[in-house]
Amino acid sequence: MNKHLSLSTYRLIDISIFTVLMVVFELIAVKAINWFDEVYSVSLFLTIALILIMRWGFWSIFTIIAGAIIYCYAIGATVDNYLVYIGGNLFILFNFFWFTLGKERIQKGALTLLYVLSGFVLVELGRSLIASFLGFPFFPTLIGFLGSDVLSALLALLIIMITRKQNGLFEDQIAYLIRVNQEEEPKEAN
């Protein structure tokens, strides 16, 4: 990393890149339904949100909201849809409870599966709860959301299992930067 780059600048660039990826992939997911005459699409929302939560914690909220807004815009959503998707997607932030066990255990252990699964369930519960407050029946809505997003959850699990093997990609970025700087210090001393 450029030693003259501040942490806040690095974070801004990193979150901006992931936000652009989120926006592009959400647009592609919505447009692909029309391109291929399909009923369901595969979204990378869960994947990107979970990676960013691991990397930056609450800073991921900007990308989560951007993903919901662009998805709703792309489908020509009503105000109710915006409320359901923005509010429901924010339920993924309850996944922070895993961090009480230590981010390192989630990054490397079998807890990765539970981290992804709980993120998926939290988003679908959140969307269904908000939809129920807007007058939709809770259980049929929940089943609909779970069914339509199960492929996205499986894809998220696969991608996160792969990315956790990449140095620094599925890792708290402050811890990563500290580790990298400590590894470089002995090299610079020689």
The overall average pLDDT reported for the chain is: 92
CB contact at 8 A, 26 and 99: no
Q: Is the dihedral of CA 61, 64, 67, 70 positive or negative?
A: negative
Q: How far is CA 83 from the centre of its chain?
A: 18
Question: Domain spans of the chain?
Answer: 7-189
CB contact at 8 A, 15 and 59: yes
Q: Kindly state the average pLDDT of the residues 114-134.
A: 98
Distance CA(125)–CA(92), nearest Å, equals: 10
Asked if residue 3 has pLDDT above 80, the reply is: no
For residue 7, give both structure tokens: 């942490």
CB contact at 8 A, 116 and 92: no
The fold adopted by the segment(s) 7-189 is Arp2/3 complex 21 kDa subunit ARPC3 (1.10.1760)
CB contact at 8 A, 65 and 86: yes
Q: Kindly state the average pLDDT of the residues 88-111.
A: 92
- Of residues 76 and 37, the one with the higher pLDDT is 76
Distance CA(131)–CA(137), nearest Å, equals: 8
Q: Kindly state the average pLDDT of the residues 174-185.
A: 89
